[in-house]
Amino acid sequence: TVTWAKELARYAIRTATVAPGFVATEMTAAMRPDMLERIEQSVPLNRLGEPDHIAQSVAFAFDNDYFTGRIIECDGGLRL
């Protein structure tokens, strides 16, 4: 992301990456309840993210025309 931002800035192309944490999806809904609980407890916010949280992160990168070359970690504080 950083390298692409430096290389593509001269063409007015911005780059961004969204690094999601655990998100409530069909896959996580199919998990054993005890495993899902362990995952939720590992997240500082004690819950899974929603797909809309990821969409909001992507929208931020699109909407802010001065944002480039960065990673948005949308993970409920998992990587603290």
- The model's pLDDT over 38-73, given as tens digits with 9 standing for 90+, comes to 999 999 999 999 999 999 999 999 999 999 999 999
- Residue 79: its pLDDT value, please? 81
Cβ atoms of residues 15 and 5 within 8 Å = yes
Token pair 């992507």: residue: 58
Residue 46 three-state SS: coil
- Residue 4: its pLDDT value, please? 98
Catalogue all structural domains in the chain, each as residue range(s) with its CATH number: 2-74 (3.40.50.720)
Model-level pTM greater than 0.85? yes
Closest CA to 41 of 29, 30, 33: 33
Closest CA to 57 of 76, 39, 35: 76
> In the 8-state DSSP scheme, what is residue 10?
G
